[in-house]
Structure 1
Amino acid sequence: MGIVGPPIGGFLSQRYGFRTMFATAGALYLTATCLRIYMAARSRRVGSATYHAPQRMTLAALKANLSSMVAILLAGGVVTWLFLSDGASDIAFTVANHFDPVYQSNVIGLSTITITWVSATFSIVRMVVLPLGGWFADKAGERAGICLGHLLCAMGAAVFLVGTQFIHFAIVSVLYGVGSALFSPAYDSLISKAVPSKIRGTAFGLVSTSLGIMSLPAPYLGGLLWNSFGPRAPFLLPLLSSAGMALLLWIKLPARGRRDPAAAAEAPAVVEA
C-alpha cells in the first residue's frame, strides 16, 4: 500500500475530497485487519519447526517475559544500543515526517499529487532493495548494513534541507529507501540472535511500544522548532541523528552478530558489544 496508496490517496483527495479518501482508507484498513486475524488463526493450526509452540497468555507469563526483556535492555549489550539508536532515529524522523507534506506544499510549492509520488518513491525503492539489504547483512555483517543505512539516511536528510524541486525530494526518497532497506534486516537479524525465541515476540512488541511512547511528544517538538527557528529546523534532527548513529554504532556494535549459546537454550541472554 505504500507504493500505490499515496498516489491513490492524492487522486481521491483532489478529485472527490478528503472525506472520500478517509472512507476508502478505513475500508482498506478493515480489510487488512480481517486478513491478519485470519492469517494469525491459520498459523496456529499449521505446525512449523521454525517456531515454538505458542505460550498460554497469562499475566504471569507476560510479567516473566517483560522482566527478561528489561534485563536484556539494561545489560549494556547489543540490544541496548539497538534500542537506543532505534529510539533516537524514530523520534528524529517522527519530528520531521509530520511536517514533510506541509513543508513540501507550503514552502516548496509542490502539488498534492506530486507529494504523494515522493512518498511512493520511498516505498518502491525500499521494496526493491530490501532483499539486497538482507543479502548485504549476511555478506558484510549487520554492523555494516546498519551503519551504511544510517549514513545514507543522513545524506538524504542533507539533500532534503537544500531541495527546491520534485527531483530533489525524489532523490531524498531514494536515499531513505535504500538506507532503510539496508539497516532494517540487519536490526532484525541482531535482535533475533540476541533474544531467546520464546520472548522474541515480547521483544519486538516492547520495543515498538516503547518507541511509540517516546515519540508521542515528537510532533509538538517539531512544531516548536518550526515556529522558533524556521521551517527547516525540524528536518535537522534526522540529519544529526542518522549521522551520529552511523558513527556510534560502528564503534559499539560487533562486525557480525553471534547467536549466544544461552539464547539458543531459550534462556535470557545478551550478545556483548
Structure 2
Amino acid sequence: MVELMSCSNNYYGRRNVVGLALMNAFRGVVVGGYMALYGLYLAYLGFDMGVIGLASTIASLVGATISPSVGYFIEKWGSKLGIVLSGLALTLASLILVISKTLPLLVTSYTLFMISFLMGQVARSVFLVHSIGIEGLGANVGVTSAVFSIARCIGPATAGFIAYSIGFKLAFLFLTASSIIGLIVFQLTTTQPPKETRGEKYGSLIDAYRQVFKPNPLLRFAYIVTVLDRFGWSLWFPMLSAHMYNYGYNEAIVGLLSTVQSVAQATTLPLLGKLTDKLGSTNILMTSEILAAIATLLLINPTPWLRALIAYVLVGLSIAAWIPSFSKLVALATNGNKLSEAYASVNTIRIIPSIPAPLMGGVLYDVIGPIAPYGSSAIILTILAIILAKKSKVSKPLSKHNHINP
C-alpha cells in the first residue's frame, strides 16, 4: 500500500512538473513581451525616465506591503491556487495596456505585473518542492525555467514586431490572449501536490509579517544577497527598453534583442541548474553577479549593435545562473520547512531596495546620463560577487542527508 501511494505521488509529481512547464511556455511569451514593451510604450507616449522609474517604484512599494501575506495565503489555500491567481494578475496587467493610456492605469498595470511576479515565484517554488522534493530541485527548476525562457524568445520578437507593424494595442492583446491560454492549460494538466498540507503552518496573518524580520542565519545571508542584487539591477533594468529607444533602437529591434537574451537564458538554464546541484548555489550566484556587472558596463553606451548584442547575451546568462541557484539557496535555508514563508519573506526583503532604486536610477539618468545608474549598478554587483566568493570559500558542504550544498 505504501509503495502504491509512493508511485501515485511520483506520477502526480511528474505530471505537475510537466503541467507547470506547459504553462511556463505561455507565461514566457507574456512576460518576455511585456518586459520588452512596457518601458518602450511609456517612452513612446512621451514619458521620461523619471516617470518610468516612478511606475516601478510604486509597484515595488505595493509589492513590499503585500508580499508577506502572499506566503500566508499560499500556505493556507495551496500553491496551485497561488499560481492561478498570479496568472490572472498577469492577464489583467496586459489587458489594461490594451484599453488605457492614462498614467494611473499604466502604473496599475505594472503593479499587477509585480504582484503576479511575487505570487507566482513563491507559488511555483512551493509547488515544485511539494511535487518532487528538494533533492534535484535545481535541475527541475532549471528545466521548467528553460521552457519559460524558450517561450520568452517568442514573446519579445513577436510582440515587438506587432507593435512596430500594427500598433502597441494589438501587441498587448496578443499577450493577454497568451496568458489566458496558459491559465487554462495549467488548470487542466495539474493537481494540488499530494505532499502539500494547507492551513497548518501559520498562527495568523500577523505572524507572517513578523517572520520577515526573524530569519535563521542561512536565510539572513539570502537577504543580503537579494538586497544588493535587486538594488543593483533596479537602478536600470526597468528602464532598459526605453534606454535602447533613446539610442535609436526601434520596437522590433528591442524585441529581437530581448529574444537573444531569452535564447541565451533558455539554452543554459538546464546546465546551470545541474551545476547548482553539483557546485553549490553560492558559486553559481557569484557567476551570475559577475556576468551582470559586465553586461551593465556594456549597456552604458549600447552602440554599436554588437556591444548591445553581447550585453543582452550576458544578461540572459546572468538570469539563467540566478534562477536555480537562488531558489535552491532559499530552499536549503529552511531545509524544506515553511517554504512559502521563506520565499515570501525573501521576496519582501528583495522588493525593499526596488522601491527607491528605479526612481533614483531614472532621475540620475535624466540629470547626469546613463553612466550614473549603470556605473553604480556595476559597482554594487561586483561587491556582491566578492561577498559570494568569500562565502563560497568558508562554506563547508553539509551531509547529503540534509540535502544541503550551499
The match for 2:398 is 258
Contact kept, 8 Å, 1:126 with 1:177, in 2: the verdict is yes
The match for 2:221 is 81
User: Are 1:26 and 2:26 counterparts?
Assistant: no
TM-score of the aligned structures, taking structure 2 as reference length: 0.56
Moved over 3 A (4+): 33-39, 61-70, 252-261
Instruction: Using the TM superposition, give the Cα deviation of residue 220 of structure 1 relative to its aligned residue in structure 2, in angstroms.
Output: 1.6
- Give the letter aligned to residue 168 of structure 1: R
Instruction: Using the TM superposition, give the Cα deviation of residue 164 of structure 1 relative to its aligned residue in structure 2, in angstroms.
Output: 0.9
User: Are 1:43 and 2:191 counterparts?
Assistant: yes
Distance change in 2, residues 1:140/1:59 (3 Å): closer
Deviation string 1:82-128 (CA, Å, 9 cap, x unpaired) is 2222122223212201221222121x212221111111111111111
Contact kept, 8 Å, 1:92 with 1:237, in 2: the verdict is yes
State how far apart, in whole Å, the 1-side matches of 2:202 and 2:336 are. 19
1:172 to 276, 288, 311: 311
Structure 1 portions without partners, runs of 5+: 265-270
State how far apart, in whole Å, the 2-side matches of 1:255 and 1:59 are. 31
The match for 1:163 is 302
Contact kept, 8 Å, 2:273 with 2:324, in 1: the verdict is yes
State how far apart, in whole Å, the 2-side matches of 1:216 and 1:3 are. 29
- Give the letter aligned to residue 174 of structure 2: T
- Give the letter aligned to residue 26 of structure 1: T
Contact kept, 8 Å, 2:258 with 2:312, in 1: the verdict is yes
State how far apart, in whole Å, the 1-side matches of 2:367 and 2:233 are. 19
Correspondences of 1:65-76 after superposition (within 5 Å) = 67-68=210-211, 70-72=213-215, 75=216
Instruction: Using the TM superposition, give the Cα deviation of residue 60 of structure 1 relative to its aligned residue in structure 2, in angstroms.
Output: 2.2
Contact kept, 8 Å, 1:142 with 1:255, in 2: the verdict is no
1:138 to 258, 277, 285: 277
1:218 to 357, 361, 377: 357
RMSD: 2.8
1:230 to 338, 363, 369: 369
Percent of aligned positions that are identical? 19
User: Are 1:90 and 2:230 counterparts?
Assistant: yes
The match for 1:268 is none
Q: Aligned to 1:258, what secondary structure does the other structure show? A: coil
TM-score of the aligned structures, taking structure 1 as reference length: 0.81
Contact kept, 8 Å, 1:148 with 1:179, in 2: the verdict is yes
Q: Which has the higher helix share?
A: 2
Number of aligned residue pairs: 254
Distance change in 2, residues 1:63/1:179 (3 Å): same
The match for 1:267 is none
